[in-house]
Amino acid sequence: MSRHICTRWAFDLSSWSPTLPQLSQAVALVQPEERVRLMKFHFIDDFLSSLIGRLLMRKYVSSCTGLAQHQVQFARDVRGKPYWVKKEDCEAPPLSFNVSHQGNMVLLAGITGESQDPDFGIGTDVMKIEYGGGKSLSEFFRLMRNKFSEHEWSYIGRPQHNERAQLKAFMRHWCLKEAYVKELGVGITVDLQKISFSVDTTHNLGEEVSPLIGTTLRCHDKPMDNWHFEEHLLQEEYCAAIAFRNCQPQEHGRFKILGIEELLVKSQESELQEVVAYCQKALVKPHKRS
Ligand code: COA
Ligand code: MG
């Protein structure tokens, strides 16, 4: 399996309180149908998470292809998975990317490959290691029973795991499963219990050891040797996973945290004027925790 160039970008929403000019620049980059989608979010937090995801995608495709950001066009497949609409005359290499957001974290994982072998892909997921449900953790796990295999539960519920460690182990498996499912783009239509991960049990997943790369996968008891996984810990409280199908990264690096100035590009004054009223409306949306 050839090695591919992998990009891992993260954005921390707690680092950004958008001003109207910044938000206008950001929104001006987003396609009209996505603006309509974004405006439907009740909370500004969700609006911004999703918006930043769109900016990460745009920056990624632009940086891989040399196209200007406003020339990059995205569409969604029937299940809602975004993809880059590649023009026929474009000679850029095939690429795959996926975005995930939770809490204050927005991630993009992307990978480029070779034209002669375009059948590969990437999926990613991030989860904050917290449990805010009303039920006890053991009751929550009981409800989640059928989402994980016996093998996975035997690791999550290890006697040496206290509640916090169990929750972390749970989130690690959740992210791995979601990253896998998101590469496939199939949503929740797969039997999650038949997808069984074995995580690296010799290392404790920490920020400084990220990524762990020893994870293996069995589907319906068959080893899936064409898949590779990275597990990351970010800011001590976010688990993340990247699933690689038919590809492997050249290097196993960490996520790079980007600042807002790295995501915004200059738009024309007329384009900015067009979105001002829209942005003013967005900025008065309520915050989740205010
Ligand atoms: N496949 C892959 N990526 C998709 C997608 C799909 N079908 N649909 C959307 N995406 C992309 C988009 O960029 C989306 O961002 P947007 O909502 O701002 O447009 C992003 O992935 C969302 O990912 P994430 O933030 O991780 O959201 P999620 O974890 O809530 O949802 C789904 C992920 C919708 C793709 C899907 O996997 C799902 O329905 N999951 C259900 C949860 C579940 O039961 N998981 C069991 C795991 S143990
Ligand atoms: Mg998710």
Can you tell me the mean pLDDT for 143-148? 94
7 three-state secondary structure: strand
pLDDT at 187: 62
Among 51, 97, 80, which Cα is nearest to 187's? 80
| Beta strand segments in the chain, E | 3-12, 74-76, 82-84, 95-102, 105-112, 121-128, 195-198, 216-219, 222-223, 227-234, 238-245, 248-249, 256-258
Q: How confident is the prediction for the chain on average, in pLDDT?
A: 94
- Decide: pTM greater than 0.85: yes
> Is domain 131-244 classified as CATH 3.40.50.10490?
no
Which residues surround ligand 1 with Cβ inside 6 Å? 50, 53, 79-82, 98-101, 125, 147, 174, 177-178, 181-182, 185, 187-188, 192
Among 150, 177, 151, 155, which Cα is nearest to 166's? 155
Tell the residue number behind the tokens 């974290």, with chain if given.
105
Among 232, 234, 233, 235, which Cα is nearest to 243's? 232
CA dihedral 173, 14, 108, 177 (to 10 degrees): 10
- Which of 31, 45, 124, 182 has the most ligand 1 atoms within 8 A of CB, as the residue to mutate? 182
Which ligand places an atom closest to the C-alpha of 55?
1
Instruction: Name residue 258's beta-bridge partners.
Output: 11
Instruction: Name residue 195's beta-bridge partners.
Output: 219
Can you tell me the mean pLDDT for 163-170? 95
Q: What share of the chain is helix, strand, coil (3-state, %, to 5)?
A: 35, 25, 40
Among 56, 7, 85, which Cα is nearest to 247's? 7
pLDDT at 25: 96
User: Highest mean pLDDT range out of 10-14, 111-115, 207-211?
Assistant: 10-14
Inform me whether the pLDDT recorded for 24 exceeds 90. yes
From ligand 1's centre to the CA of 185, what distance in Å?
Answer: 8
- Indicate the fold that domain 1-120+246-290 takes in CATH: Ribosomal Protein L22; Chain A (3.90.470)
**What is the location of CATH 3.90.470.20 in the chain?**
1-120+246-290, 131-244
- Angle 32-39/44-65 helices, nearest 10 degrees? 160
CA dihedral 140, 143, 147, 153 (to 10 degrees): 60
Distance of CA 142 to CAs 65, 139, 148, 166, 171, Å? 47, 5, 11, 13, 15
pLDDT by residue (tens digit) across 248-286? Answer: 999 999 999 999 999 999 888 888 999 999 999 999 999
